[in-house]
Amino acid sequence: MSSETPSSPVYAVVAHPNWRGSHVNHQLRHAAATTPGVALCDLYERYPDYAIDVPAEQARLSAARLLVLVYPVQWYSMPALLKLWLDEVFSYGWAYGHGAKAMQGKDLWLVLSTGGSEASYHPEGYNRYFFDAFLTPYEQTAALCGMRFLPPMVLHGAHSATPAEIERHAATFAERLRTYPQWPELADSASCAACDVPDADRPADSTQGGH
């Protein structure tokens, strides 16, 4: 795992419950681990007991400009430990809500793989919707925190991808990490103002999931 320094501009959080069965994500993990300027968090390695060190994770996020979430799409969502990480680390009063500015101005980039082909994400395919329809919760998560949601990098049909296709995909991922934030499309990508969350909707003394 790459060394983590407070000045790392990129924080890559990778989540795969079974690396031995991974066709794509283990190569993406390696690319992130060997790219200078990237702090890597392998969630299932760091927190096998699901006991997340929230202050430590928030400190790493505070030091970064870009948060990269790397994972296989499972049931149209993220692996369970990554969802728990998001629930606990992106807390009210820190990541969003009244006076919360920890994540404002940062970028969020999803790097995803799907078992289904791109054609399956179509009104006439078995997934019934275009893939973008499943991204709305992530885009809104970014908006709630005042983050810029960058166009995701997606590899469809991971199970049937050839070794050459996966290698090219991982190489592109590594190049993107190396060149951030000098991405041409960022010049035309507007920042997002954080959404205003009324205190009555998220009382400061409430616990997560207490409603």
Place of tokens 């399956």: 120
The pLDDT of residue 142: 95
Q: Write the CB contacts of 59 (distance below 8 Å, at least 6 apart in sequence).
A: none
Which residues of the chain fall short of a pLDDT of 50? 1-6
One-letter amino acid for residue 109 of the chain: W
CA distance 118 to 116: 7
pLDDT of residue 209: 52
pTM: 0.89
Q: Tell me whether residue 193 is in a domain.
A: no
Note whether residue 202 is domain-resident: no
**Is 71 within the bounds of a domain?**
yes
CA distance linking residue 200 with residue 116, whole number of Å = 41
Is residue 102 situated within a structural domain? yes
Q: In the prediction, which pLDDT does 194 show? A: 67
Residue 104 lies in a domain: yes
| pLDDT at position 15 | 96
Q: What is the pLDDT of residue 51?
A: 97
Residue 22 has a pLDDT of: 84
77 Cβ neighbours under 8 A, 6+ residues apart? 83, 134
- The reply to whether 140 falls in a domain is yes
Interacting residues of 133 by C-beta distance below 8 A, sequence separation 6+: none
- How many structural domains compose the chain? 1
- Cβ–Cβ under 8 Å, residues 51 and 14: no
CA distance 178 to 34: 10
The answer as to whether 203 is a domain residue is no
Determine the Cα–Cα distance for residues 122 and 23; give it in Å rounded to an integer.
Answer: 24
Q: Looking at residue 144, which CATH number applies to its domain?
A: 3.40.50.360
Please report the pLDDT score of residue 143 as a whole number. 93
Domain that holds residue 28: 10-188
Is residue 3 in a domain? no
